[in-house]
């Protein structure tokens, strides 16, 4: 899966926001969503396989945090998105 496809999903993007500045267990992440734990687990797997989150085991828990270095390459995408949104707002003005 392409990196942009990985973060295009709103749930995966929200997971990245949750673990951006802190480490959370899979259960803590799943508690933030109104979907099954297995659905959240699948999103975590996709993010992990893309290298966007790092998993660490602590006892029986799996803890996740964002790998900011891996996500750094996507910063340019954010800038392009911001510019496109600003352009659209300007077009929408009377």
- What backbone torsions phi and psi does residue 66 show, to the nearest 5 degrees? -70, 145
Contacts 24+ apart (CB under 8 A), 45-49: 46/1, 46/6, 46/12, 47/6, 47/12, 47/15, 47/16, 49/1
Strand (E) or helix (H) holding 42: helix 37-49
Q: Reduced to 3 states, what is the DSSP secondary structure of residue 40? A: helix
User: What pLDDT does 40 receive?
Assistant: 95
Cα distance between the two ends of the chain: 40
Whole-number pLDDT of residue 9: 83
- pLDDT in the model for residue 73: 62
| Single pTM value for the model | 0.74
Average pLDDT for the chain:
84
| pLDDT(78) > 60 | no
Could you tell me which residue, 71 or 66, shows the higher pLDDT? 66
For 37-48, the pLDDT digits (tens) are: 999 999 999 999
Q: Mean per-residue pLDDT for 23-35? A: 95
Report d(CA 40, CA 12) in Å as an integer.
Answer: 9
Reading the block at residue 82, the tokens are 């911001």
């Amino acid at each position: 899966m392409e990196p942009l496809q990985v973060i295009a999903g709103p749930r995966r993007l929200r997971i990245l926001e949750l673990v951006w500045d802190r480490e959370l267990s899979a259960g803590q992440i799943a508690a933030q969503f109104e979907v099954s734990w297995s659905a959240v687990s699948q999103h975590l797997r996709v993010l992990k396989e893309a290298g966007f989150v790092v998993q660490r085991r602590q006892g029986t828990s799996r803890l996740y945090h964002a790998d900011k270095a891996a996500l750094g390459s996507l910063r340019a995408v954010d800038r392009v998105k911001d510019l496109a949104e600003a352009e659209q707002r300007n077009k929408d003005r009377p």
